[in-house]
Chains A and B, each alone.
Chain A
Amino acid sequence: MQNGDGASGPPSTEDAGGRRTSGPRVALFPTCLTDTAFPETAKAMVRLLERLGCDVDFPLDQTCCGQMHFNTGYAEHARPMARAYAEVFDGYDHVVVPSGSCAGMVREIHPDLCGTSPAARRTYELSEFLVDVLGVVDVGAHFPHRVTYHPTCHSLRMLGVGDKPLSLLRAVSGLELIPLPQAEQCCGFGGTFALKNAETSTAMLADKMRCVQDTGAQVVTAGDNSCLMQIGGGLSRLRTGVRPVHLAEILASTEEEPWVATP
């Protein structure tokens, strides 16, 4: 087991079964939403990170990063959640999150709520972790579909992941990547904004869906299930047939173990 901020790069000692064993010790923070409503994304993270040599753990005491509370004006409720996060994820080499907004909450806001912690410092959004920490772009994935990518606002502007997700997608075999028009426009989710200003949120969503449909893609992907829930929920209502699939699920998919649509 390694410790400290400097740990990076997958060591390649493999055990008899071909599973690498002594890579960085990575804790998964799938977020409460993914844990509860999108377990396939979290399972895909496990497959992907283990394939890349990480020693993956899921500390069971985790719950929520407090983002919904904080963003809605309940910072006082978010504070204990931020503290709990720092404790639960202490001692891992890295924490990986399949959500730009929750990773942003942890890295940018938690320090304001309860001071800096090693856990918050070592928290990465998935694409950042793969590209910056593990140093891989080609993760050996195979996904034979037409895909368009929506860069979520917080991954883009709060974390600055730039085109890391796109480089990862470009390296996926069989995948046809179609650029999304007006990609950087918000999908209209915004947490409780989607309820408090439902009509405005829906108007933003309508434009996003039009752009997605214009690409002719079969799959719309993003690094955040909350935005995908908004975009996918709208697309499903309109029975467009375009499927929302989290980036982690695409990157986990291989020829041997291909992605299968959950009902």
Chain B
Amino acid sequence: MGRNPVTWLGSPTFPDAARRALGDTQLRGNLRKATTTIRGKRESVVAELDDWEELRRAGESIKDEVLADLDTQLERLEVAVTERGGVVHWARDADEANRIVLDLVQEEDTDEVVKVKSMATAEIGLNEALADGGVNAIETDLAEVIVQLGDDRPSHILVPAIHRNRAEIKEIFAQMPEPPASDDPRVLAEAARKYLRRKFLSAKVAISGANFGVADTGSIVVVESEGNGRMCLTLPETLITVMGVEKVLPRWQDLEVFLQLLPRSSTAERMNPYTSIWSGVTPGDGPQKFHLVLLDNGRTSTLADEVGRQALRCIRCSACLNVCPVYERTGGQAYGSVYPGPIGAILAPQLAGDLHDEQTASLPYASSLCGACYEVCPVRINIPEVLTHLRAEVVEAKGKRTPEAMAMSAAAWVFGDRKRYEAAQKAGSLTRFLARGGTLSSLPWPGSKWTDTRDAPVVPKESFRSWWRRNRG
């Protein structure tokens, strides 16, 4: 089994990547503008539904039901899809999934496929694998086109090019046969339309992800905006859908919950422009060959973690990214994974499954634990809880001999006994001799990490407990 491509090989650790990103004022401006807009909109469409909290609880528990019963649900889905003329494949990891897809494409005797934006295929690095096999995969979602043509990496789950503003997009689109005349978003969208039209009409094979797969009806659901999804799902003769195993829902009825939760949480709309639902193959309508690739790639090992498994409830709405103060400032690429932001910080390390890797191990620390993500998550993933849980796993992986582990042990030893604690307090108050003019503005490392940008409190001579003892003891 190869390295899991869910985190990008060679990425710097989060603090290093963040430092670089923070220096990019254009990026910060773009992100601030985009996230501020969407936050306000999300709040108002969510406020329209009196039963939002009930829907969240239902969403949470349907997903928990799936996880508790995943083997059965997958088998039911397989039966339903097969009965309706689809073919189901299973892939243990990225390599296996990529090989299955490449074989299927080559069977159709084509070297070009159109793609609907899909996190699962981005996670496994499908485009690169197809390119290695001589197949050109054309992304058709506007933001993916921006990323692909810009030779860039995604920085957001829903809008992978969120880090780009209209002027930059115009520059990137200059390489199109018919480049846009201005940076008006309408003109940019028109340019993408023209660029992709021929591709849609001529492609023999399309590749998609899936937002949901319904076990009892075999229905696959793709939620989108632009119509590129509909094009891919209807025009080509062959459709290959790659779906994470956790995307299965038990019952058709469950869609009534998720089709309310998802659009309002992701694009902050009452409903996204287009949702396509199909089941197997429909004679005379749409692709006549349908393949469903069920992907594990670290999901079953995530399932095995009692606390961490809630990350598998995720419906990839990206609400947690949009409200995250860390994400807003560093952007998504700093996380070194197709899954950035709060969900990335808990999902990427679990899927990757290697906390000995410095970069992966830095992700659970990429949060101030402010809890804004948990508050908006439509399936109530307690992201701060999983973050601290994973931090504990990182600490365990690193062992007891790191400077931090030793400092933490020492601190715990001090806090373990009143006398030791009081002695340390007295020693701490000696730092006041470092202070000038009532402020403490320069401490030795690691305190310098604090005093580089902020003054530290001058620890007073008398602690509260000494005062209490003197006055009340």
Interface residues of A (CB under 8 A from B): 30, 32, 34-39, 42-43, 46, 58, 60-64, 66, 68-77, 80-81, 84, 153-154, 156-158, 184-186, 188-205, 229-230, 232-234, 236-237, 262-263
- Most A Cβ at <10 Å: residue of B388, B395, B453: B453
Render B450-473 as a binary contact track against A, CB cut-off 8 A, 1 for contact: 101111110110111101110011
Report the minimal beta-carbon distance from B11 to chain A, rounded to whole angstroms. Answer: 16
Q: Which of B159-167, B223-231, B412-420 contacts A (4 or more CB under 8 A)?
A: B412-420
Measured in the bound complex, the distance between the Cα atoms of B408 and A153 in whole Å is: 24
Measured in the bound complex, the distance between the Cα atoms of B464 and A62 in whole Å is: 12
Query: Given A197-B365, A230-B454, A237-B453, is A153 in contact with B372 using a C-beta cutoff of 8 Å?
Result: yes
Report the minimal beta-carbon distance from B92 to chain A, rounded to whole angstroms. Answer: 30
Residues of A within 8 A of B369 (CB): 71, 153, 190-191, 193
Query: Given A35-B463, A81-B412, A188-B368, is A195 in contact with B450 using a C-beta cutoff of 8 Å?
Result: yes
Residues of A within 8 A of B421 (CB): 32, 63-64
Tell me if B314 counts as interface (CB < 8 A to partner A): no
Measured in the bound complex, the distance between the Cα atoms of B394 and A38 in whole Å is: 33
Residues of A within 8 A of B412 (CB): 69, 74, 77, 80-81
Contact of B453 among A66, A68, A198 (CB under 8 A): A198
Query: Given A185-B325, A190-B369, A234-B454, is A60 in contact with B464 using a C-beta cutoff of 8 Å?
Result: no
Residues of A within 8 A of B463 (CB): 35-36, 39
A-B contact pairs, 15 of them (CB 8 A): A39-B467, A43-B467, A60-B418, A60-B473, A63-B415, A73-B393, A74-B412, A77-B409, A77-B411, A193-B368, A195-B446, A200-B330, A204-B329, A236-B439, A237-B441
Render B1-42 as a binary contact track against A, CB cut-off 8 A, 1 for contact: 000000000000011001100100000100000000000000
CB contact list, B373-395 vs A, under 8 A: 374-375, 388, 390-395
Residues of B within 8 A of A237 (CB): 441, 453-455
Render B347-381 as a binary contact track against A, CB cut-off 8 A, 1 for contact: 00000000000000000111111111011000000
Query: Given A73-B391, A74-B395, is A36 in contact with B425 using a C-beta cutoff of 8 Å?
Result: yes
Judging by beta carbons under 8 Å apart, are B457 and A38 in contact?
yes
Judging by beta carbons under 8 Å apart, are A58 and B472 in contact?
yes
Main secondary structure of the interface of A (DSSP, over half): helix
- Most B Cβ at <10 Å: residue of A39, A66, A192: A39
Please give the number of chain B residues whose Cβ is less than 8 angstroms from any Cβ of chain A in the complex. 66
Measured in the bound complex, the distance between the Cα atoms of B374 and A35 in whole Å is: 31
Residues of B within 8 A of A156 (CB): 371
Query: Given A63-B421, A199-B19, A200-B326, is A157 in contact with B365 using a C-beta cutoff of 8 Å?
Result: no
Interface residues of B (CB under 8 A from A): 14-15, 18-19, 22, 28, 325-326, 329-330, 364-372, 374-375, 388, 390-395, 404-405, 408-409, 411-412, 414-418, 421, 425, 428-429, 438-439, 441, 446, 449-450, 452-457, 459-460, 462-465, 467-469, 472-473
Q: List the A residue with the shortest CB-CB distance to B361.
A: A73
Residues of A within 8 A of B367 (CB): 190, 193
Report the minimal beta-carbon distance from A234 to chain B, rounded to whole angstroms. Answer: 5
Judging by beta carbons under 8 Å apart, are B411 and A200 in contact?
no
Measured in the bound complex, the distance between the Cα atoms of B364 and A197 in whole Å is: 12
Measured in the bound complex, the distance between the Cα atoms of B171 and A218 in whole Å is: 47
Task: Given contact pairs A32-B415, A157-B370, A203-B329, enumerate 20 new A-B contacts (beta carbons under 8 Å).
Answer: A35-B465, A36-B463, A43-B467, A58-B468, A60-B469, A63-B417, A69-B412, A71-B369, A71-B391, A77-B409, A154-B371, A156-B371, A186-B370, A197-B366, A198-B449, A199-B22, A200-B329, A202-B452, A204-B368, A205-B453
Measured in the bound complex, the distance between the Cα atoms of B370 and A185 in whole Å is: 9
Residues of B within 8 A of A77 (CB): 408-409, 411-412
Measured in the bound complex, the distance between the Cα atoms of B409 and A58 in whole Å is: 26
Residues of B within 8 A of A192 (CB): 365
Query: Given A34-B464, A38-B457, A186-B372, is A197 in contact with B18 using a C-beta cutoff of 8 Å?
Result: yes
Measured in the bound complex, the distance between the Cα atoms of B325 and A203 in whole Å is: 10
Report the minimal beta-carbon distance from B71 to chain A, rounded to whole angstroms. Answer: 29
Q: List the A residue with the shortest CB-CB distance to B330.
A: A200
Q: List the A residue with the shortest CB-CB distance to B426.
A: A36
Q: List the B residue with the shortest CB-CB distance to A33.
A: B457
Judging by beta carbons under 8 Å apart, are B371 and A197 in contact?
no
Query: Given A77-B408, A197-B326, is A37 in contact with B457 using a C-beta cutoff of 8 Å?
Result: yes
Judging by beta carbons under 8 Å apart, are B438 and A198 in contact?
no
Query: Given A157-B372, A230-B454, A234-B454, is A195 in contact with B449 using a C-beta cutoff of 8 Å?
Result: yes
Judging by beta carbons under 8 Å apart, are A74 and B408 in contact?
yes
Q: List the B residue with the shortest CB-CB distance to A197.
A: B15
Query: Given A186-B370, A197-B365, is A37 in contact with B459 using a C-beta cutoff of 8 Å?
Result: yes
Residues of A within 8 A of B395 (CB): 72-74
Residues of B within 8 A of A229 (CB): 456-457
Contact of A39 among B14, B326, B462 (CB under 8 A): B462
Residues of A within 8 A of B418 (CB): 60-63
Q: List the B residue with the shortest CB-CB distance to A230.
A: B454
Among all A-B residue pairs, the 8 with the closest Cβ atoms: A190-B368, A73-B391, A233-B454, A186-B370, A77-B412, A157-B371, A73-B395, A39-B464
Q: List the A residue with the shortest CB-CB distance to B439.
A: A236
Query: Given A35-B465, A73-B391, A74-B408, is A201 in contact with B457 using a C-beta cutoff of 8 Å?
Result: no
